Amino acid sequence: MKTKEPHVEPRPMPAEMRTVWSVADGVGASGKDKLHVLEVMASAIVGGMETYVRNLVRSMPRDRFQITCLCPYESPITEVLRGMGAAVFVARMDDDPPWRSIQAAVEITRNFQVDLIHGHLPKAHVLAGLAGALTQTPALATVHGNSITTHELGIHRTTNTNLIVVCQEAYMQALAMGVAPERVTLINNGVDLDVFRPSERTRAAFRASLGVAPETPLVGFVGRIDVEKGPDQFLQAAQVIHDEAPQAHFVMVGTGHQYDRMQQMTADMGLSEVMHFAGLWPDTSKVYPGIDLLLQTSRIEGMPLSLLEAMACELPVVALGVGGVPEIVEEGRTGMLVSPGDWRGVGQRAIDLLEHPTRMAAMGEAARARIRAHFDLRSTVAQTTHLMETLVQRAGAAQMSKLSAPVDADRKTPPSAESPANR
């Protein structure tokens, strides 16, 4: 026997919805003064993708763009986005998205006159693609890793999305997998040089928080403490360094599923006296100036923001050459590159640099200069917004072309009900 569902009073329209509705008439495909972008995020933790979206939302010109965000759950990131003036909605996201989530994305797009949908990570890509196809709205997905999975390729082909990739490896792979050149654009990640810069005051404050003396060499890891980021390889490299330079200290900044395991591994390796676990620092611009040398020990990467941010703060780096990392680090000038998986080589290169502080300082200065020349956030945002405007204009032109196309008088029409063929 079916149980009677409880009566639920209709809820008033959320403040975000009222806000969007009030400014929706405010250049998109519909002739508005501002292009309305829906940013769809598959997660809302403190991570690289979320930082990318936060930087984009903060930097997009408000005289040209209106921004709404769709996130999988409430978190500190959703509050940050609201603080930047974006309307934020929440809907569940899966590889196979539930109908209610598809419905939410479609209704936001239709009712609030969204001109372009921009997805991040596969679960958001599929939702953006479906909503775009159902509403005839151009959809764009940024692939934040170093490769395009067959899953994302299928989404792209089925829903006709456009792609942004962040490193050359992903771009070449996309072309090799048959993505049309006009459907994929390479736009490198960028960093705000006004936010990420060297600071003696910040250096002293971060070290004081760890209890590390100003003159003590400090080697750092900044990132999510999960398997793909290689925190275990950082610890193994730290062991190599400690054996040769016992005066050096180490810090891991971040949280993740491997956090407790890394603490236990540190104790088992006898590094507890020199290893510091700083936890999560949402504002990493307060972290990098306190570190002398950054180790990038990831197993998989696209174009890591942590590496760009560190270099902007004049840190020399020793990095495993995975994904887009070789595009960032200029070997021997801004840092050192080591073959993927060679944590022992990372440790040895770090020892070489720690023994030559003057060389480290020169590398740090060259690192910031390289970021300024090639990975400035302003350039990233300019390229991205230009692409968005181009896609919307292209979609509008295609729609106008369809509407103005002449009817083919010679085209045969289906027989009518009165036709002899239907008798």
In the chain, which residues fall in CATH 3.40.50.2000?
18-186, 200-374
pLDDT of residue 11: 40
CATH topology of domain 18-186: Rossmann fold (3.40.50)
The share of the chain scoring above pLDDT 90, in percent, equals 84
- In 215-300, the DSSP E strands lie at 218-222, 249-253, 275-279, 293-296
E-only strand ranges, 129-279: 139-143, 162-165, 184-186, 218-222, 249-253, 275-279
Percent of the chain residues topping a pLDDT of 70: 88
List Cα–Cα distances, 96 to 44, 187, 228, in angstroms.
19, 28, 24
pLDDT at residue 419 tops 90:
no
Cβ atoms < 10 Å from Cβ of 379: 14
Residues 191-233: tens digit of each pLDDT: 999 999 999 999 999 999 999 999 999 999 999 999 999 999 9
pLDDT for 48 = 87
> What per-residue confidence (pLDDT) applies to 44?
87
The yes or no reply on domain 200-374 and CATH 1.10.10.10 is no
Question: Model pTM?
Answer: 0.85
Quick: pLDDT tens for 351-397: 999 999 999 999 999 999 999 999 999 999 999 999 999 999 999 88
Q: Please tell me the predicted confidence (pLDDT) of residue 20.
A: 40
- Mean pLDDT for the chain? 90
Least confident of 3-7, 33-37, 146-150: 3-7
The number of beta carbons lying within 10 Å of the beta carbon of residue 89 is: 20
Interatomic CA distance for residues 289 and 313, integer angstroms: 6
Q: Residue 293: what pLDDT?
A: 98
The pLDDT-based confidence of 152 (bands split at 50, 70, 90) is very high
pLDDT band for 399, please (50, 70, 90 cuts): confident
Burial of 8 (0-12, 13-18, 19+ CB in 10 A): exposed
Residue 401 has pLDDT above 90, yes or no: no
Residues pairing with 211 in the sheet: none
Going by pLDDT thresholds of 50, 70 and 90, the confidence category of residue 23 is very low
Beta bridge partners of 317: 294, 335
Determine the pLDDT at residue 2: 40
**For residues 20 and 419, what is the distance between their CA atoms, to the nearest angstrom?**
51
Q: How far is CA 399 from CA 328, 383, 387, 396, in A?
A: 40, 24, 18, 5
The pLDDT value given to residue 16: 43
CA–CA distance, 143 with 147 (Å, rounded to integer) = 8
What pLDDT is recorded for position 46?
Answer: 76
- Tokens 């005289």 identify what position? 63
Give the bridge partners for 42, in sequence order.
Answer: none
Q: Is 316's pLDDT higher than 70?
A: yes
Taking residue 330's Cβ as centre, other Cβ atoms within 10 Å add up to: 17
Residue pair 188/166 in contact by the 8 Å Cβ criterion = yes
Mean pLDDT of 332-361: 97
H or E element at residue 36: strand 35-41
248-286 pLDDT, tens per residue?
999 999 999 999 999 999 999 999 999 999 999 989 999
For residues 241 and 342, what is the distance between their CA atoms, to the nearest angstrom?
A: 14
Answer yes or no: is pLDDT of 27 > 80: no
Q: How far apart are CA 73 and CA 93, in angstroms?
A: 9
CA-based nearest residue to 145, from 29, 300, 345: 300
Amino acid at 66: Q
Q: Residue 180 — pLDDT band, cuts 50, 70, 90?
A: very high
pLDDT tens-digit readout, 100-147: 999 999 999 999 999 999 999 999 999 999 999 999 999 999 999 999
